[in-house]
Structures are given as structure tokens and as C-alpha cells.
Structure 1
Amino acid sequence: MQTEPLLIGIVDDHTLFRSGLANLLAEFAEINVLFQATNGVDMQKKIAQHPEVQIILMDINMPVMDGYAATKYVKKTHPSVNVLALSMHEDENAIIGMLKAGAGGYILKGSTPTDLVIAIKAVKEKGFYINEMVSGRLLFSLKQDEPKPLITEKEHIFLQHCSTELTYKEIADLMNISPRTVDNYRESLFAKLNIKTRTGLVVYGIKHNLIKI
């Protein structure tokens, strides 16, 4: 039995990339591109015309209304719609910002069409997708029925600061501790959570409501 195609919106200010992406996705029977938008403001008009959209592929850097604000708008007004961030580079701050805004994951613009479709399906089915920048074992640790590892109060404070643009040294100064102690908190959380990167820590914190957004 053939399943219904996934209903997609594409928001990107680069016309050639946006149109090319739509044409590539049109080759997949399981994908139906409902609309294209040039920025967040344009997206608001398009999503009002196509409220049945299920997933929005969202560029991060756009004029008028960028991906962060546009994602927040989507999650506030259409909470059932999933957002997959499109990133040119593996920029931790940008990715963390999109995840905090409500995106279910991100994928690089240089990915293959097949990888993109895999990401789209993952976001639709699981509500979450991330690439190899975060440990693959993170998905296992994010399961809601998994027991949460014991995180100390200081580690919790450190985790909250990790979701900002502060450097580790600036976090140490803010917490009035040594950079070495910050390193210890980071390595302890990496070990407890089976995570390898700062982005992974923030994703875990968001998913388990440990980080205030």
C-alpha cells in the first residue's frame, strides 16, 4: 500500500538553491513540496495558505526574518509542524540556536538528496534528527524512558551556560571557578551522557528540559 507523501515547505533566500532543492526532492515519490519561501515573513504567508504542511526545511541566515525567528514562529503558531534546519557549515552556535528555537535537527546543504530525504523522514517519524557532529549514541540516550544520569547542581549550571555563546573560559569566570574545573564538568557530562560535543550536551539539555530557553 502506498503511503501518503510528506508535505514539505522550503524557506531559503537563495533562489537557485531553493529551486534546485525543490526539483531534486520532486524526484522522490514520498516527498511533495507544497511551497517555497524567500524568508520568514514570506513563509508566514505561505504557511497560512498551506496549513497542512508537515515539515519545513529552514535556512538559517536570511534577510527580513532569519531562520531562528521563523522557527520560533512556526513552533508557536503551528506546533505540529517540524523544522529541519539547513546549514552551510557545521557552526555549533548556529545549530544550537536553531535547536533552541524549536528545530528538530539540522543537515548540511552539501548533503546528498538521499541523505536529506532520510533526515526528513527521521524528523517526521521521531521528531528529531542530527548528523555525525553529535555522537550517534546520543539518540539512544535521548529516549524518554531511559533513566537520566545523575547530574550535579554545578554540572547543571555549566550545562545551562553551554547553551550560550560563552567560551569555556568565560563560563569559568562566570561560575567563579578555574578553567580546569570547567573541563572536569565537561568531561564528566560527556562520560555520563555518552556525548562527544558541546552541541550534544545542549541537545540533551533541551530534550530533557534541563536548559531554560
Structure 2
Amino acid sequence: MITVAVADDHALFKSGIIELIQSQPDMEVLFDASNGKEFIDRLVKSKGIDIAVIDIEMPVMNGFDLTDYLHKNYPAIKIIVLSAYSQERFVVKLIECGAAGFLSKNCQPKELFDAIRQTHDCGFYLTPDAFKVMQRARTISKKYKNINNIPVELTAREMEVLKLICGEMTNHEIADELCVSVRTIEGHRNNLILKTGSRNTAGLVLFAVRYNIIDALS
């Protein structure tokens, strides 16, 4: 069972999201909140969650601050931002803050379900539009360099694992593909996060895009 919590200050929209998630047999909403502070207060009293679905614009404590707080204090929780904003500065900043996925508020229910499941299983979810935003940011970023100028030294196996991660494969699937143990892949993933300075798997994808390691999600 994938446990979820929702934070949004629009009561009607939040109720609809909760009802949709609760309709899935493999998902359960444990609590909801109207702002970041309320979310944290309820999280402390809960038994823990797998996925946080949060809005950007909220009173008291917004989505950026909540994402940053959760990443620092509850790194196991994967964060999906569901918002009306899709500009480059929002998508890239949210991933840099620690978000694992980004969805538009006008997405279809199936996309919400897919995002929750993929984020739970693979560690990230990026829509084609969000990925294009990352590519555009890459082309104008002063930090952008090509694959021959990656600022860290990655082994051939780490590069291989990184590309498979970006291909939306789970640790088990990558282990089967490379004929190694899941623990070995977990070690490579952790090393990649440390070496690249990424906050999570979505950060690894952003790194791969910035340095032209990948051009498009499979």
C-alpha cells in the first residue's frame, strides 16, 4: 500500500484529489493539510508516509519551503508538486529543493496515479513538458557543459546505471539488466547522488540533462 498525504489550501480541489487517490486499491491518504506548517504538524503525529502531494502556493508555509524541510528532515518521503505553475524557474527550483516529481493541476487522473506509482517505485516522475523545461533551462544555463566536461568523475558503470535510472527503471529492473545484485545498484545510486550533489533521483535526472548525458526520457 502506498501511503500519501496531500497539502493544498483550496479545499474543493484538495477534496477531489483525496477522493481520486482513495479510489485506487493500492493507495491510501493518511492525512491532509491546508499549508506547510499544518502538514508538518500532522506528519509528526502520523505513522509516516511514502508520498507527499503538495501545492506551491500556500499560506503560512509554501510548497518550496515545505519541500526543502521535508527533504532535510524526512528524506525517505518522495515529494510530488501539483501546481498551476509550469515555468522553468519553478520546475528546476523545485527539483533542486528536493521534489521528486512535478504535475500540472489540469492533469488527468490517470497521470496522477501514474506519477504516484512511478515516484514510489523509481524515485521520480517527470512529464514530457517538465522534461522539455529542463532541456530549455540547460541550453541557457551558465552551468551547462557537454558530456566531456562533467564536473565529477563517473565510472563507466555509474554512467550506465545513471542512464538506466533516467529510463525510469527500478533498482530491481536495473539489477536484472546488469546481472548484479539490488544492493550493488543501491550502492551505485547512492554514490551517484553523493558525487553529483543531487538531492534525490529527480536531481540525478536534472544532472543528466544539464550535462547532455541524456536527451530524452525513454
TM-score bracket, normalised by the shorter chain, equals 0.5 to 0.7
1:102 aligns with 2:106: no
1:205 aligns with 2:204: no
Structure 1 residue 61: Cα displacement: 1.0
Distance of 1:24 and 1:97 partners within structure 2 = 28
For residue 115 of structure 1, the aligned residue among 103, 111, 122 is 111
Contact 1:84 1:107 survives alignment (8 Å): yes
Greater RCO (Cα-Cα under 8 Å, separation 6 or more): 2
1:55 aligns with 2:57: no
Aligned-residue CA RMSD (Å): 2.7
| Aligned-partner SS, 2:149 | coil
Cross-structure match for 1:158: none
Structure 1 residue 29: Cα displacement: 0.7
TM-score scaled by length of structure 1: 0.63
Cross-structure match for 2:61: 65
Distance of 1:72 and 1:111 partners within structure 2 = 24
Cross-structure match for 1:23: 19
Cross-structure match for 2:72: 76
Deviations 1:73-128 (A, max 9, x none): 11111110000011213221111121111000101111111110100111111111
What amino acid maps onto 1:204 in structure 2?
L
Contact 1:104 1:123 survives alignment (8 Å): yes
Q: How does 1:162-173 map to 2 (within 5 A)?
A: none
Q: After TM superposition, which residue ranges in structure 1, 4 or more long, deviate above 3 angstroms?
A: 200-203, 206-209
| Aligned-partner SS, 1:150 | helix
Seen in structure 2, the aligned counterparts of structure 1 residues 207 and 56 have a Cα distance that, compared at 3 Å, is farther
Residue segments in structure 2 that go unaligned for 5+ positions in a row: 136-145, 152-201, 212-218
Structure 1 residue 208: Cα displacement: 8.7
What amino acid maps onto 1:205 in structure 2?
F
Q: How does 1:139-154 map to 2 (within 5 A)?
A: 149-151=147-149
1:45 aligns with 2:55: no
What amino acid maps onto 1:106 in structure 2?
F
Contact 1:10 1:57 survives alignment (8 Å): yes
Residue segments in structure 1 that go unaligned for 5+ positions in a row: 139-147, 154-199
Deviations 1:43-65 (A, max 9, x none): 11111122421100010111110
TM-score scaled by length of structure 2: 0.62
| Aligned-partner SS, 2:5 | strand
Contact 2:95 2:203 survives alignment (8 Å): no
Count the aligned residue pairs. 148
Percentage identity across paired residues of the two chains = 28
Contact 1:6 1:54 survives alignment (8 Å): yes
Cross-structure match for 2:195: none
Contact 1:82 1:127 survives alignment (8 Å): yes
Distance of 1:203 and 1:69 partners within structure 2 = 22
